[in-house]
Amino acid sequence: MAKVVVLEKDVADKIAAGEVVDRPASIVKELVENSLDAGATRVEVELEEGGRRRITVTDNGCGMMLEDAVLALERHATSKIRAADDLYAIRTLGFRGEALPSIAAVSTLRILTCAEGEETGIAVTVERGEVSAAEQRGAPRGTQVTVTELFANVPARLKFLKAVPTELSHIVDLVIRFALSYPDVAFRLSHNGRAVFASQGSGDPLNTVVAAYGREVAREMLPVDSGEGAPVRVQGYISRPAVTRTSRSYQSFFVNRRLVRTPILTRALDEAYKGYVPAGRFPIACLFVTVDPAVVDVNVHPTKMEVRFAAERDVFQAALRAARQALAGANLAMPALPPRVEQSIQVQTAGERPAVAPPPAPSAGSGAPVGEALEDPFAGLVVREPVADLAPKGK
């Protein structure tokens, strides 16, 4: 056996990157989470070649000061938690302080940022983990992060990237899910200069459903709410039993607004739809669990997509009850579509289709943009009805 040594920083960073960053979509996820944590009301994602050539995420959030922007590139540098105890009360999407250095370790990363109240912005460039330039530069308030040369220094990972349409569809999926859980934030996603998806940020989750799946689907969604007062609240939308898909990929689950994978909610849905849908068909669903952060552990996996609940049963029961109630009342109520849906934009390129589910719970906060208005690259875009893959329906 050789001697034990502490790994060099660049090796450690690459190992961490292996856990957090495995494809363009995981980079988009981390960058958008940072934008949301920064309080952005507008988040724009621009991609080239499915993100393989370029990913740019621009927000109008709080921005960073020079020292913070440089420090943020260090591992375990975070403004979001301070002490181990904070891990038990996480209210932000990020907390591990690993995303930026991990991404920077396997790409060329540029940050252009301007903090609130600052006269000028700053630009920092990191190439393969080393800061190569940091200078003052004019910038609107907020932050823009651009990632290029992805995995140029990790050929093994580069090999595993899928074709552009596949990588793109993962990102479309993801951005739609963010838009569902943050209806008060205006999201835009473009690919090779073409608009792919946009949400209004109106605060009304049904507008996001319309933008993502079209009015037809939005009309078939039933509101779900287990009610206030209990330690666990489950809200959201589920589809009428006549509207199903052949996979679960149109089911989205969020815990305290964080997109998660959890078998508990999957099982609750299966149970609620028993007898309503045939085997092999799955309802569309978008469920939001609100629970005291102290009883949920999100520090289970580096991607923060897995969670553990202290009271799994309560979560299961609340979801089951809420879904059953919605289904039982299904013939009584049709959800009213929000007004002015025609403002939603949905443009899809051939072969791309978002595979996701519906909307979230009411959100606090207003959608009013703050700070510098970003130029609107989508202005004048032709609006048309979405063509999302709608399984045959009818009741």
Ligand X SMILES: Nc1ncnc2c1ncn2[C@@H]1O[C@H](COP(=O)(O)OP(=O)(O)O)[C@@H](O)[C@H]1O
CB of 375 to ligand X, least distance (A): 18
For residue 99, state whether it binds Mg ion (rule: CB under 5 A): yes
Give the Cα separation of 337 and 93 in Å (integer): 30
Contact window for ligand X (CB under 6 A) among 59-67, 217-225, 242-250, 370-378: 59-67
Q: Which residue has the tokens 């079209």?
A: 214
Per CB under 5 A, the segment of 3-11, 86-94, 234-242, 253-261 that binds Mg ion is 86-94
Q: By C-beta, is 94 or 142 nearer to Mg ion?
A: 94
| Contact with ligand X (CB under 6 A) among 12, 19, 70, 79 | 79
- Binds ligand X (CB under 6 A): choice among 54, 80, 157, 281: 80
Query: Min. distance of Cβ 231 from Mg ion in angstroms?
Result: 28
Dist. CA 298–CA 294, nearest whole Å? 10
Residue 78 binds which of ligand X, Mg ion, none (CB < 5-8 A, kind-dependent): ligand X
The listed partner (ligand X, Mg ion, none) that binds 95, CB under 5 to 8 Å by sort, is ligand X
Q: How far is the CB of 112 from ligand X (least distance, A)?
A: 10
- Indicate whether 304 belongs to the interface with ligand X (CB under 6 A): no
Count of residues near ligand X by CB under 6 A: 23
> Which residue is nearest to ligand X, using beta carbons?
94
60 binds, among Mg ion, ligand X, none (CB under 5 to 8 A by kind): none
Count how many Cα atoms sit within 13 Å of the Cα of residue 8 in the half-sphere of its side chain. 4
Per-residue interface string for the shown chain with ligand X, residues 14-53, x marking contact by CB under 6 A: ----------------x---xx--x---------------
Residue 236 binding Mg ion, by CB under 5 A: no
Applying CB under 6 A, does 59 fall inside the site for ligand X?
Answer: yes
- CA atoms in the 13 A half-sphere facing the CB of 218: 24
Based on the shown chain and the rule CB under 6 A, indicate whether residue 95 belongs to the binding site for ligand X. yes
- Angle between helix axes 263-273 and 312-328 (nearest 10 degrees) is 30
99 forms part of the interface with ligand X (CB under 6 A): yes
Residue 302 as a binder of Mg ion (CB under 5 A): the answer is no
Among 94, 129, 354, 386, binds Mg ion (CB under 5 A): 94
Minimum CB separation of residue 192 from ligand X in Å reads 23
Give the x/- contact pattern for Mg ion in 18-37, rule: CB under 5 A. Answer: ----------------x---
> Using the rule CB under 5 A, is 214 a contact of Mg ion?
no
* Partner interacting with residue 79 (select from Mg ion, ligand X, none; CB below 5-8 Å by kind): ligand X
Binding site for Mg ion (CB under 5 A): 34, 94, 99
Binding site for ligand X (CB under 6 A): 30, 34-35, 38, 59, 61-64, 68, 72, 77-80, 94-100, 143
